[in-house]
Structure 1
């Protein structure tokens, strides 16, 4: 288990005392843990159990496609082509940091089976890269406006247990950052690997819309019981 000093800083919101479930939500490039915190009241339904939302801040690093500018990023972006986009060492480091946060939730009384791992864009890529290698399945995985990085390598490293994790994917049909076709291809590959993927797309760009939040709430409701 990772020591607490290695843990990422987080923003946290609890919907009631003594949470029994956790949603661990990873932001996109250049944002931070505050980015999706406002979604909590829009997303949560009164009948759900007590939840802890955990929004970590990604480390600050130089991003190649942004002329080396330093910003919060889960990994360096080397190229806009999805096949060469992800810096594998950065992905591995971020997956390890996410796993440390999952371990912390277990230490706080929330087992992996009660944790949903969510992410937008870069954060969604890390969520998927984490999920496919899990030996202890999570309650579910949410991947918004994103893609599966390192598919060839993850095809070798994925576990049989991981495929039991349900996946919610949503994407903008006019996304200029992560092409819609790239999201669809990732969903198809996950299905080939045995994952049950609930796919949604919307007439939008690289963003989140109200209809998407409603669909996600319905999906989460079935996961949270």
Structure 2
């Protein structure tokens, strides 16, 4: 059983019926996306439990080996090459353990959302394509699908039924939008129900994107 990550939790009302596990980007921590909750959640929605895990602290090669919170190592500027497959797989297991914990707390997989930004979005996609149980949906922002070479051999039995939202900045200098578009193509070819939005922004999140995520989530919370 993998080590259970430390998390921050916010419940929008007592006895929540749905969960949202939201993964931060490189060098941030679970607090990074706490402020999105009041911007995203609508008054008509059922109770949600937002879970913001802290990634493990590890040395990151591209940053001179400095230790920071990271879901996997970044070995160079060409982030889609020379991937830290072991790190990605370890994080998949750790996040999978959080999803399973929500099931034991009474929220079934069909009412669990998985979301992430940048590195966190990469883990979101890498886990989603390997799911043998459904999810309410996967939200992947400013990111790409890592270790895609092992697909479709590792495609999960329930994966293709999971709706995916992808959003990306057209001027992203960190994760080029082209990588996101390539990943969109891979997921679409595999048969995933995918929603894609591009925004005139760098490596960030904007108000329009939050509104689009809320619209998309509302359809799945109905």
Q: How many residues align?
A: 222
Q: Which residue of 1 aligns with 2:89?
A: 92
Aligned: 1:124 with 2:121:
yes
How many Å separate the matches in 2 of 1:80 and 1:98? 26
Contact 1:82 1:182 in 2 (8 A): no
The alpha carbon displacement at 1:90 in A equals 0.3
Q: Which residue of 2 aligns with 1:101?
A: 98
Is the alpha carbon distance of 1:85 and 1:210 closer, same or farther for their aligned partners in structure 2, counting shifts above 3 Å? farther
Aligned: 1:195 with 2:192:
yes
Contact 1:75 1:91 in 2 (8 A): yes
Contact 2:71 2:91 in 1 (8 A): yes
Contact 1:129 1:154 in 2 (8 A): no
Stretches of 4+ aligned residues off by more than 4 angstroms: none
The alpha carbon displacement at 1:85 in A equals 4.9
Q: How does 1:151-162 map to 2 (within 5 A)?
A: 151-162=148-159
C-alpha distance after superposition, 1:36-88 (max 9, x if no partner): 00100000001111000000000000000001010000000112213315300
Aligned: 1:39 with 2:36:
yes
Match of 1:76 among 34, 50, 73: 73
Question: Secondary structure of 2:196's partner?
Answer: strand
Q: How does 1:45-84 map to 2 (within 5 A)?
A: 45-84=42-81
**Structure 2 unaligned blocks of 5 or more:** none
Q: Compute the TM-score of the two structures, normalised by the length of structure 1.
A: 0.97
**Structure 1 unaligned blocks of 5 or more:** none
C-alpha distance after superposition, 1:138-194 (max 9, x if no partner): 110000000000111133211242010000000000000000111011011100000
Match of 2:17 among 5, 15, 20: 20
Q: Which residue of 1 aligns with 2:140?
A: 143
Q: Which residue of 2 aligns with 1:163?
A: 160
Question: Secondary structure of 2:120's partner?
Answer: helix
